[in-house]
Amino acid sequence: MWFDVFAVRMIVELLLFGALLVGVYFLLHMTVLKLPRCTAATKLHGKTVIVTGANTGIGKTTAIDLARRGARVILACRDKGRGEAAVQEIIQETGNKQVIFMQLDLASLKSVRSFVDNFLKSEPRLDILINNAGVANGGKTEDGFGMMFGVNHLGHFLLTVLLLDQLKESGPSRVVTVASKAHEMGKVDFNCLMTHRDLVPGNSDYEIFQGYCHSKLCNVLFTYELAKRLEGTEVTCYSLHPGFIKTELGRHATSWWNVLLNTVSLFSVDAESGAQTTLHCALEQGIEHLSGHYFTCCAPVLKINPKARDDAVAKKLWELSESFCGLS
């Protein structure tokens, strides 16, 4: 009898504790994790936008919003099947038939150049470039660079540089690069880049985590340096933290990295919420004077980590990236 009472009491306490956890989780989602929305009323009829990695996650959600505003939207994706399927879904959802798939593999500098050649031959203007695609796994690119350095930074670097003339001719125009708060844990080791063509020397689970953080710092530094080089033009640029989002970022990751991502996902929001700061940077009027800034929650971060504003590192990263891409 005593055991039965004890067991019932334990069950009740566990249920109450579980209810408390659910309540805290719900409260977090309604407060801390509920991200602000982009309020820009900007219409994009007659404008052309490129979104990399637009067949899934926040890239796809971003493309849907831009298509609803009337833009001609180029889905720049590696997987042809998934990219073309996303095109049909976006057309059906928005009624905008000016949604086009163009193949782009950011892990191949040859593919980046081919994409740009095809784009420039078929499209007379470019108003917004959204560098959204990203990976969180080890391995090497086609050109022998670390996968995260090659895709998250170097591929987008080359893509942006090769499209700058088109962006300038179409101005006012914007470049928006999806970074991450993880950049605060990153660094740029130029010795490692020169010896390993990567941001980390190996592919252990911890090094993959480090490499991801380092690559996101590269995104922020790239945007910072790009803004300097665009002074006097009608092209502005922004980097951003989208929030902790439920995406397919870790679909090729190792088990340890997936455990980390799945744990974070317990406190994450959906792709629609995650796309809002991207949309804000792409569409909000009156932020041109903030070119080069890093945004989160649809607002600029005014007290950013000093390493994300290191002029010498940003310049050296740009010059080394030019060298790696064969631009210098």
Q: How many other C-beta atoms lie within 10 A of the C-beta of residue 172?
A: 12
224 in active site? no
Query: How much is the pLDDT for 129?
Result: 99
Domain 48-324: CATH architecture, name and number where available: 3-Layer(aba) Sandwich (3.40)
Q: pTM of the entire structure?
A: 0.86
CA distances from 131 to 102, 194, 237, 324 (A): 14, 25, 11, 19
Task: Write the burial class of residue 231 (CB in 10 Å: 0-12 exposed, 13-18 middle, 19+ buried).
Answer: exposed
Confidence of residue 116 (pLDDT cuts 50, 70, 90): very high
Report whether 243 contacts 265 (CB < 8 A).
no
Dist. CA 155–CA 116, nearest whole Å: 12
Q: What is the mean pLDDT of residues 35-39?
A: 91
pLDDT(236) > 70: yes
pLDDT(1) > 70: no
Tell me the pLDDT of the chain averaged across its residues: 89
pLDDT(14) > 70: no
Q: What is the mean pLDDT of residues 46-53?
A: 98
Query: How much is the pLDDT for 328?
Result: 83
Dist. CA 266–CA 10, nearest whole Å: 26
Query: How much is the pLDDT for 27?
Result: 46
Longest dimension (CA), the chain: 84
Q: What is the mean pLDDT of residues 196-206?
A: 95
pLDDT(136) > 90: yes
pLDDT one-digit tens code per residue, 69-110: 999 999 999 999 999 999 999 999 999 999 999 999 999 999
pLDDT(23) > 50: no
Q: Lowest-pLDDT range, 9-18, 69-78, 110-119?
A: 9-18
Residue 220 vs residue 7, higher pLDDT: 220
Task: Kindly state the percentage of the chain with pLDDT values over 70.
Answer: 82
CA distances from 23 to 31, 35, 38, 243 (A): 12, 19, 28, 21
Residue 1 vs residue 166, higher pLDDT: 166
pLDDT(220) > 70: yes
pLDDT(255) > 70: no
Domain coordinates in residue numbering, the chain: 48-324
pLDDT(4) > 80: no
pLDDT(266) > 60: no
pLDDT(259) > 80: no
Task: Write the burial class of residue 186 (CB in 10 Å: 0-12 exposed, 13-18 middle, 19+ buried).
Answer: buried
Q: What is the mean pLDDT of residues 131-160?
A: 97
Dist. CA 129–CA 120, nearest whole Å: 14
- Tell which residue, 21, 35, 26, has the closest CA to residue 181: 35
Dist. CA 61–CA 245, nearest whole Å: 12
Confidence of residue 32 (pLDDT cuts 50, 70, 90): very low
Q: Which of 25, 212, 224, 238 is catalytic?
A: 212
User: Which tokens go with 64?
Assistant: 């849907």
Helices (H) and strands (E) in the chain, counts: 12, 8
Residue 27 vs residue 83, higher pLDDT: 83
Alpha helices, DSSP H only, in 95-204?
109-122, 147-148, 156-169, 190-196
User: Which tokens go with 248?
Assistant: 């397919």
Dist. CA 251–CA 147, nearest whole Å: 14
Confidence of residue 31 (pLDDT cuts 50, 70, 90): very low
Dist. CA 182–CA 220, nearest whole Å: 11
Cis omega (within 30 of 0) for bond into 201: no
Residue 3 vs residue 141, higher pLDDT: 141
Q: What is the mean pLDDT of residues 270-295?
A: 96
